[in-house]
Structure 1
Amino acid sequence: MRAFILMLAVLSSFAAVASNQARIRDITRVDGVRENSLVGYGIVVGLAGSGDSSRNKATLQSIRNTLENFGVAVSNDDIKSNNAAAVIVTADLNAFAQPGDKIDVHVSSLGDARSLTGGALYLTPLKGVDDKIYALAQGNLSTGGYKFEQNQNVVQRNHPTVGFIPQGAIVEKEIDQQFVRNNQIQFVLNQPDFVTAESMVQVLKQNFPELKVRALHAGKVAVSPVAPEQAMMLIAHIQQLRVQTASIARVVVNEKTGTVVAGADVTVGDVVISHAGIRLEIQTRFRTSQPGAFAGINNPSVRTETMPDTDVKIEGEREAYYASQGGTNIAELVAALKKVNLSTRDIISILQAINQSGALNAELIVQ
């Protein structure tokens, strides 16, 4: 059964320009505003004999320390850890999370526990990289899987040694956000690009002539001077502005699933391909479209244009021929290859070969 090909529609040049308009909030983030990773070491209890074995000394010591906190003194020899498991607890703290807010946590087995199904996480402090406690995690685990063993027969679904606790941690300490430094705000582009950064600078200069705006590099734009008390209002206004973004020509292929995804600006140069007894030939000729002598008098946008005229031929079990007025693109190429019943694997191989020959005017990403 052939794999399914997902191909984005290739728009006209005018439609592509319009689609490249984007809000600043959708393509940037404010420098200094970010999520922070938290981590902690904890114990999952209440397991039905599927916890860590007695070989895990860390689990035995953790259970002993927990019992001593409640005034119960025991030795390691008196502890059976089959109903408990040592785990690592992780969470992401939102940039503006406040004390009392709840966040999701993930729990992963650290020892040789067979399953965390049915367990409950004992109160666990979550720390940041500065070794300060920012949240406390506790609650019943949801593993989304199971593992049962009987007479050397094993039935397992998903990964029962990894669990999830929705809203399982309470924030105890907020993070001080410093997004105004030296009366300056910096916007970081999600995809660094010189054209997009310059477009953003020009839009900000037009809307805020009293501010100094400059691109530090392809991935960051600085705005100054900004008073701290006006920073929130200024950021809200800037993020609503629309800028012209530069489209990046990319072709993404997944050999495992047979998926091909191409952007709108992907074109193919003149190339001849012979693959498995099939010959494919692409030729592009450029012609000049000259307006009338008086056409541009009242309409200055009327001008001479160079238009590519492309022919694609395939010879094999079936032959297909068509011409394109907009140049050869990936959609046309794939459609031509499908007419001769080429499989998705063959098409991916051809795209890789075209890229190696230098005829693919895009970045090829193989997953």
Structure 2
Amino acid sequence: MNRTVFGLLLTALFFHSTVHWTLADEHLRLRDICRLKGQEKNTLQGLGLVVGLKGTGDSKLNPTSRALARMMQVMGSNIAADSQGFPDISELEGTGNVALVMVSADIPPAGAQQGDALTCSVSAINAKSLEGGTLMVTHMLGPRVDQPTIYALSQGQISIPNLAVPTSGMIYQGCKMERTVANSFTWEDKLTLIIDQDLASFSTAVDIEDQIKQLMQSSSGDSRGEGVVHALDQLSVEVTIPQHYREAHNEVQFVAILLDMPLNNIKKKKSVVINEVEGVIVLGEDVLINPVVINHKNLAIQANAGPGGFVGVDTSSPAPLKPKLKNLVDALNALNVSTEDKIAIIRTLKRNGDIYGEVLFE
């Protein structure tokens, strides 16, 4: 059967599943749309050496050879000196099995304890491929070059998640924390809530302020909550930790109660997460799209019933419900559309404003 005809026949299934289905508005909680100021993701980075490559290492070996010579000296190997007394790197040239790489690892917003193992990314600087390579012990520094503190050590066998891009790889749990990184969330008995960018607005900030005040009134008997909560702008709300929590040194319990607070007037954020490297698409059941006709390569799918009338629509309904992105993806799966093409279609829908939700690319 022609793919275009089959795609149009799938329209009936695609649209029919949305006609009589209504979304249940689940209440968000404060933690779903806010983070605590000070608890942000931090990135560690370092320059390292990958060995064990199959002739795909660096072609320009001077920087790599110097780094390798330094590593060998640190590990107790003797390197012959040149006429000026520096390591004679000419002895190390002529091999394509070594590569200079950039290594990075993300510390979660909550921080990391000494001994924790994080996943790190490895990217080639000049090598053709890192496949089969092993990262030698690499010092991981903080984001500020003026503070060369060693926070972690990275090493291990490199995995290549996308063989089409062999110059980038991962080492799962290959970065071991040597120091504890604790991200503070209070200053002078106050904390600041940062609202997600896609939901930030003055009305959202004021709504959060009002609902926190109501929480304070019900839990402490404070008649107004004045001075305890203050919306600073459309992105941030400042909260003073109540005195009885401070006196009991129980700020953590207060934060737990605060972040678990339901938000009655803010709709749930709908999102699609796409990892292009690993070819993964994660989408919610309730992400909606506009009725559109999709023409991609030799494929045509209509995300709504056309004049031909594939399905019946109840005209007594005030407005037809929009199709779901999940049903579109299901239809594409039935047509054996590649993940790469599905991602391209979703990207185009988002660019044209036809997806009701946030699309995140990792």
> Which range, TM-score by smaller chain?
0.5 to 0.7
- Against the structure 1 CA distance between its residues 318 and 16, is the aligned structure 2 distance closer, same or farther, given a 3 Å change threshold? closer
Q: How far apart in 2 are the matches of 1:264 and 1:145?
A: 28
2:230 is the counterpart of 1:214: yes
Q: How far apart in 2 are the matches of 1:105 and 1:249?
A: 29
Q: How far apart in 1 are the matches of 2:45 and 2:121?
A: 10
Show the 5 A alignment for 1:213-362: 213-226=229-242, 229-247=249-267, 315=307, 322-331=314-323
2:119·2:175 contact (CA, 8 Å) conserved in 1? Answer: yes
Partner of 2:151: 135
- Against the structure 1 CA distance between its residues 314 and 12, is the aligned structure 2 distance closer, same or farther, given a 3 Å change threshold? closer
- Aligned with residue 210 of structure 2, among 193, 197, 202: 202
- Aligned with residue 189 of structure 1, among 174, 195, 207: 195
2:70 is the counterpart of 1:56: no
| Residue 61 (structure 1) shift | 1.4
| Residue 72 (structure 1) shift | 1.5
| Residue 100 (structure 1) shift | 1.5
- Greater RCO (Cα-Cα under 8 Å, separation 6 or more): 2
Q: Which has the higher helix share?
A: 2
- Per the normalisation by structure 2, the TM-score is 0.64
2:101 is the counterpart of 1:87: yes
Q: How far apart in 2 are the matches of 1:28 and 1:85?
A: 42
| Residue 90 (structure 1) shift | 0.5
Identity %: 22
RMSD after superposition:
4.6
- Against the structure 1 CA distance between its residues 86 and 208, is the aligned structure 2 distance closer, same or farther, given a 3 Å change threshold? same
Q: How far apart in 1 are the matches of 2:32 and 2:323?
A: 28
1:144·1:158 contact (CA, 8 Å) conserved in 2? Answer: no
| Residue 214 (structure 1) shift | 2.1
Q: How far apart in 2 are the matches of 1:189 and 1:168?
A: 33
Amino acid at match of 1:327: A
Q: How far apart in 1 are the matches of 2:193 and 2:61?
A: 48
Which runs of 5 or more structure 2 residues have no equivalent in the other structure?
81-87, 275-282, 292-303, 328-344
- Against the structure 1 CA distance between its residues 22 and 9, is the aligned structure 2 distance closer, same or farther, given a 3 Å change threshold? farther
2:130·2:158 contact (CA, 8 Å) conserved in 1? Answer: no
| Residue 30 (structure 1) shift | 0.9
Q: Which has the higher strand share?
A: 1
- Against the structure 1 CA distance between its residues 322 and 216, is the aligned structure 2 distance closer, same or farther, given a 3 Å change threshold? same
- Against the structure 1 CA distance between its residues 31 and 12, is the aligned structure 2 distance closer, same or farther, given a 3 Å change threshold? farther
Highest Rg: 1 or 2? Answer: 1
Amino acid at match of 1:59: T
Aligned length: 290
Partner of 1:273: none
Which runs of 5 or more structure 1 residues have no equivalent in the other structure?
147-156, 255-259, 269-311, 336-347
1:143·1:160 contact (CA, 8 Å) conserved in 2? Answer: no
- Aligned with residue 134 of structure 2, among 120, 134, 137: 120
1:38·1:93 contact (CA, 8 Å) conserved in 2? Answer: yes
| Residue 140 (structure 1) shift | 2.7
Partner of 1:103: 118
- Aligned with residue 89 of structure 2, among 44, 59, 76: 76
| Residue 174 (structure 1) shift | 2.3
| Residue 265 (structure 1) shift | 8.7
| Residue 250 (structure 1) shift | 8.9
Q: How far apart in 1 are the matches of 2:234 and 2:261?
A: 19
- Against the structure 1 CA distance between its residues 363 and 206, is the aligned structure 2 distance closer, same or farther, given a 3 Å change threshold? closer
Q: How far apart in 2 are the matches of 1:10 and 1:213?
A: 43
SS in 2 for 1:121: strand
- Against the structure 1 CA distance between its residues 314 and 321, is the aligned structure 2 distance closer, same or farther, given a 3 Å change threshold? farther
Show the 5 A alignment for 1:11-90: 16-17=24-25, 19=26, 21-53=27-59, 55-69=60-74, 70-74=76-80, 75-80=88-93, 81-90=95-104
